[in-house]
Structures are given as structure tokens and as C-alpha cells.
Structure 1
Amino acid sequence: MKIGIGNDHSAVDMKNEVVDFLVEQGYEVVNYGTDSYESCNYPVYGEKVANAVAQGNVDLGILICGTGVGISLAANKVKGIRAVVCSEPYSARLSREHNNTNILAFGARVVGIELAKMIITEWLNAEFQGGRHQTRVDMIMDIEERKCK
């Protein structure tokens, strides 16, 4: 599985640790984030990863900024993206099982690296359950179709 990762200046160190963790787990990782500590704009990286996911260049995406909020908001503006911000593993797992999320975001200033690894593991190991959840995901995507014309 190929995972795209993006980050702003506040999350360079965490991104590097997450990349190492993912590679150790056998994932291929494509870095769309910055490697500089110089202040930059998180929407750039949220959009890069979201486009890569939407276009099928990577299977899933992970985004990290200070809180995870801003970068996920940018990603969610790309058609077909369902990005979720999670600060604990339970919501991460359920977001995949119930909402079929394709991008996970979290904050380098909110969670430590060990918690980030737990969140990522739960998210990646979860599978979309379909059924009644598919109906709801379809409804969400229908909103996108109607409002983005």
C-alpha cells in the first residue's frame, strides 16, 4: 500500500518519525510535505496529498500540522476526499469503518509520537464496513456533487 504524507513546518520531526514507522510496517510512503522548519502554509500540503489520493497516485494520505485541523480542512476541499482529524485511536478506527475516510490528520502539537503511531495503526488496520454506512457515505458524497458544481 502506498501512503502519501504531508506536513507543514510545525510537524517536520513528527513526519520523519511517522515515515520511519510506516516504512518499518512495510508501507511505501510518498513525501508531499515540507522538510524545512521555515514557516509555510499548511493548505498547500493538504491539497497536495488530497490530490494524490483523489487521483489514485497513492492509496491513502496522512497529514500533520500543529493541530491537524487546518491541513484537513484544506484536504476536504478536494473532491472525493474524506479527511478526519483524530487525537485518539478509537475515532480513527471508526472513521474508516463507518465513514471510509481516505486521509488521516493529527496535530504535532496535540499528540506525541507514540500516540500518533497508535492512531495510525488503528486507522490503517480498520476496514470500511459498507452496508448502512455506505448509504451515509453516499449521502455525504452527494452533497459534494450538488454543492461543487
Structure 2
Amino acid sequence: MHKFFRMLLAGVAGFGLWSCAEHITESADTVFDNLDAGPVGMRATFSAIQDSVFTPTCAVPDCHGGSLPPDLREGAAYANIVDVPTTQNAGFNYIKPGDPENSYLYLKITGDSRIFGDPMPQQGIPLSPAVLDSIRLWIANGAAMNRPAQPQHVSLPT
């Protein structure tokens, strides 16, 4: 009798996996189709943000590579944005540790109505929701120089 139940259970499990295979494949294709929009699952650390966002997207000639504030080049970015008042909008810091909703850099990359000028980045592909979420989480957890963020629930602005 036990052998019958084991075989029945194996058959039901096999059918379940087979019936879900098409959905799993479609979901994976959707994720991989969007890889150009930014690094999926990027860690919420300053070094990951520097390597995946600031250096390739922002710290380029004629942008934040030294010609326009803030300077987001590697080695300069952290000191130029964390707890530093923005030159565009009085009352905001570029990054206010613990408070992404009042961090001007985060507002710029999400296109918030409180910004002056255009949302960032101006050139190329907009940052993906996964990247925005990583930056938001890094700020919410105190914008440390390179400590991994502790897992917490973060909801994107609507």
C-alpha cells in the first residue's frame, strides 16, 4: 500500500512540474529579456552601485565624470553625495542616509515631481526597478560606505 502512495505522489509531483514548465520558461525569458535595463538582483551596497550604475552610466564625459556636480567618479562619489547639500534644490542632500524619499539623487533617478531639471540618467536606458530598489534600500539602511544592506521589505513609489 505504501508503494502505491509513493508512486501516486511521484506521479502528481511530476505532473505538477510538467504543467508549470511553460510558465517558468516564460517568466525566465521575461527576466532575461530585461537584462539591458540594469543588473537584476544588484546588491544594495555602495560598491555595487558605483560599479553598476555610477561608473558606467553617470561618471562619463560631459556628465558627472568631473564636469558637472556631483562628481560620481570612483573614489570621489561617496564623499560628494552622502550628507552633501545639492546644488540644485536647497533643503535637500544628494543622499540623506536612512531617508530615500528625501534624498535628491534618488528623487532624480525616479523622476519625482520635487526635482529641478530632467530625471536621470539623461542618456541611455532608464534604471530598472531592481536597480532603483537596490539604491533605495542602500539609502534606507543608512548609505554605508560598503556594508551590505540588511534584508527588509521595500516598496517602490507608485
TM-score, scaled to structure 2? 0.26
Query: Whose strand proportion is higher, 1 or 2?
Result: 1
TM-score, scaled to structure 1? 0.27
Select the structure of larger CA radius of gyration: 2
